[in-house]
C-alpha cells in the first residue's frame, strides 16, 4: 500500500513507457531526462524494435518491453487492432517483469509514467501498488476535445457547435479544422478507439501530464480540468534549446532514422541569415505524388533557398526535372533526414513548412520559427488553426476541393511569411512564444513547478509494494 512518509526517500524510481513511434518516444524520453536531472532514477521501457534507435544515455536506463512482434516487426498498416491487442497482452506481462526485477534492488520502482495511448500500463502499476501517471502527447486543446467525446459531452460525428458548447473558451471551429478522427469517425476506427481509450481509466491515475505549457493553452482549456486534471509540463524539447539546465542535452537521444545533420549544417552555413525555408512532414505522413509535385513547383516558383526532408519511401514522387533544376541552380537541398532541431535553431532558417504534428509545432514555437502549416489528418488540422489564428506564428496553406494544396497558394503562403505584410508581425509573435517556452521550463516557470511538485510527491511517498496476488514483495 502507498502511504505518505515524513522521511523522504533519497531517490524514487520512475519507469517511463512510450508508444513505440518517434513522435511519442521523443517527448517521453525527454521527460525521463527532466526527471533524472531532478534526482529521480528514470528507466525507459520501450519495444525491442525501437531500442536500437536510442543512443547511449547518461542518466536514463533503457529496458526492453514486448509488443509481441519482437523479431518480425509490427504488422502492416490495416492491422492496428492486432498490434494494439498484442501490445496490451505482451506489454503488460513484460512491464510486470521489469517492475519485479527492480524490487530487491537499491531502487525499487516507485511510479509508472505511461503514454496515454497505453492505459493498460496504469493497470499494471496499480496491480503492484505503485503510482501511475498518464502522459498525453497532443496539445491540451486537442486532448480536451477528445476528453469531451470520451466522457459523452460531445457526440460523433463531431460538429463545431458542440465543441463551442462544451468548451466555450475554444476558438470558433469550422468543419474542416476539427480532428479528422472525430469529424469522420468511420475513416480510422482503430486509431479513434485508441484515442478514446486514453480516457478509459485515467480517473485512476495519480497524475496526468500534457506536453504543453500554461501560457500557450491554459485559458483555451479552462473548464475541462475537472474531468481531465492535467498538469502542463512542456514543451518537452531538449534543454540546450530552452533553459540549458540539463548538461549536454542537445538532442532527444532517439531516432528511428539516421540523421544527415553534418551535410545539412554545411549547406546552411553558406546561406544568408533568415533566408532558408525548411520543409519536413515528419516520420509518418505520406503525401500523394500530386501533392509532392505541387510543393516542388511552389518552391521553384518562390525562388527562395530551401532544405526539404524527403524520406526514401517518398523520393520517387519528386519530379525528375525539379531535381535536375535543384542540382543546376543550387537554390535547394533535398535530404532523406536531418536533425530538425539544429536546422530550426540555425540563423539561416527563416520559415518552417510543417505537417503540424504536435512535436514539430512545439519545436517551431520553442525555437521561434515562423511556420506554414500543411496539415494532413487528425490533430494536425486544429494545430494548424492555432498556428495561424491563435498564436499568430504563421499561415495555414489550405487544400482545394480535391484535397491538394496547389503550388500557387503555397507560393503565396511562403511569400506572406517571408516578406509579406504580416511577416514582421509573425516573426515578432514567433519570438514571443520562444521566450515564453523558455520561461515555462526554466527555474520557477509553470511547467518546471509542476515537474518539481511531482518529484517532491515521489520523494515523500513510501511503499510496501505488493504483487498482483496481494502479497508484499520482500
- Cβ(32)–Cβ(16) under 8 Å? yes
Calculate Rg over the CA atoms of the chain.
22
Distance CA 461, CA 7 (A): 9
Q: Is the dihedral of CA 314, 320, 326, 327 positive or negative?
A: positive
H-type alpha helices, 38-79: 48-51
- Cβ(463)–Cβ(108) under 8 Å? yes
Choose among 369, 416, 365, 373: nearest CA to 391.
365
Name the strand (E) or helix (H) holding 165.
Answer: helix 160-166
Q: Which residue has the cell 510543417?
A: 354
Distance CA 214, CA 436 (A): 10
Annotated active-site positions, please? 24, 115
User: In sequence order, what are the residues at sequence separation of 6 or more whose Cβ sits closer than 8 angstroms to the Cβ of residue 332?
Assistant: 299, 305, 306, 307, 308, 326
In sequence order, what DSSP letters do the residues of 190-247 get, joined into one string?
HHHHHHHHTTSSGGG-SEEEESS-HHHHHHHHTT-TTTS-PEE------GGGTT--ST
Largest Cα–Cα separation, the chain:
72
**β pairing state of 41-47 and 131-136:** unpaired
* φ/ψ (deg, to 5) at 333: -145, 130
Amino acid at each position: 500500500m502507498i502511504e505518505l512518509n515524513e522521511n523522504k526517500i533519497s531517490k524514487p524510481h520512475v519507469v517511463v513507457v512510450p508508444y513505440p513511434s518517434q513522435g511519442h518516444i521523443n517527448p517521453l524520453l525527454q521527460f525521463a531526462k527532466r526527471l533524472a536531472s531532478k534526482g529521480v532514477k528514470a528507466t525507459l521501457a520501450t519495444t525491442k524494435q525501437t531500442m536500437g534507435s536510442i543512443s547511449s544515455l547518461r542518466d536514463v536506463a533503457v529496458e526492453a518491453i514486448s509488443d509481441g512482434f519482437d523479431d518480425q516487426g509490427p504488422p502492416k498498416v490495416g492491422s492496428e487492432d492486432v498490434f494494439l491487442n498484442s501490445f496490451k497482452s505482451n506489454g503488460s506481462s513484460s512491464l510486470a517483469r521489469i517492475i519485479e526485477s527492480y524490487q530487491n534492488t537499491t531502487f525499487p520502482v516507485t511510479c509508472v509514467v505511461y503514454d496515454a495511448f497505453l492505459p493498460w500500463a496504469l493497470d499494471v502499476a496499480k496491480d503492484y501498488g505503485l503510482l501511475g501517471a498518464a502522459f498525453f502527447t497532443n496539445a491540451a486543446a486537442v486532448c480536451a476535445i477528445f476528453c469531451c467525446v470520451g466522457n459523452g459531452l460531445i457526440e460523433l460525428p463531431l460538429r463545431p457547435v458542440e465543441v463551442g458548447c462544451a468548451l466555450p473558451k475554444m476558438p470558433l471551429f469550422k468543419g474542416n479544422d476539427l480532428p479528422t478522427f472525430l469529424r469522420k469517425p468511420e475513416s480510422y476506427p482503430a486509431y479513434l478507439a485508441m484515442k478514446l481509450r486514453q480516457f478509459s481509466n485515467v480517473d485512476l491515475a495519480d497524475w496526468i501530464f500534457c506536453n504543453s505549457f500554461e501560457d500557450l493553452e491554459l485559458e483555451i482549456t479552462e473548464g475541462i480540468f475537472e474531468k481531465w486534471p492535467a498538469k502542463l509540463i512542456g514543451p518537452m524539447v531538449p534543454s540546450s534549446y530552452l533553459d540549458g539546465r540539463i548538461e549536454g542535452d542537445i538532442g532527444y537521444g532517439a531516432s528511428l532514422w539516421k540523421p544527415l545533420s553534418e551535410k545539412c549544417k554545411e549547406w546552411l552555413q553558406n546561406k544568408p541569415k533568415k533566408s532558408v525555408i525548411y520543409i519536413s512532414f515528419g516520420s509518418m505522413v505520406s503525401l500523394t505524388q500530386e501533392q509532392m509535385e505541387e510543393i516542388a513547383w511552389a518552391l521553384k516558383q518562390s525562388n527562395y533557398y530551401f532544405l526539404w526532408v524527403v524520406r526514401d519511401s517518398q523520393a520517387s514522387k519528386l519530379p525528375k526535372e525539379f531535381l535536375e533544376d535543384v542540382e543546376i541552380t543550387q537554390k535547394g537541398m533535398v535530404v532523406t533526414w536531418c536533425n530538425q532541431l539544429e536546422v530550426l535553431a540555425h540563423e539561416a532558417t527563416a520559415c518552417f513548412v510543417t505537417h503540424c504534428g504536435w512535436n514539430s509545432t512545439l519545436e517551431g514555437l520553442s525555437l521561434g520559427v515562423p511556420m506554414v502549416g500543411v496539415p494532413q489528418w487528425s490533430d494536425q488540422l486544429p494545430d494548424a488553426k492555432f498556428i495561424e489564428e491563435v498564436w499568430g506564428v504563421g499561415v495555414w496553406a489550405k487544400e482545394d476541393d480535391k484535397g491538394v494544396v496547389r503550388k500557387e497558394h503555397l507560393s503565396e503562403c511562403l511569400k506572406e511569411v517571408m516578406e509579406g505584410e504580416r511577416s514582421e508581425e509573425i516573426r515578432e509573435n514567433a519570438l514571443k512564444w520562444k521566450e515564453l517556452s523558455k520561461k515555462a521550463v526554466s527555474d520557477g516557470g509553470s511547467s518546471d513547478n509542476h515537474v518539481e511538485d511531482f518529484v517532491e510527491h515521489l520523494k515523500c511517498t513510501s511503499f510496501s509494494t505488493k504483487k498482483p496476488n496481494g502479497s508484499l514483495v520482500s
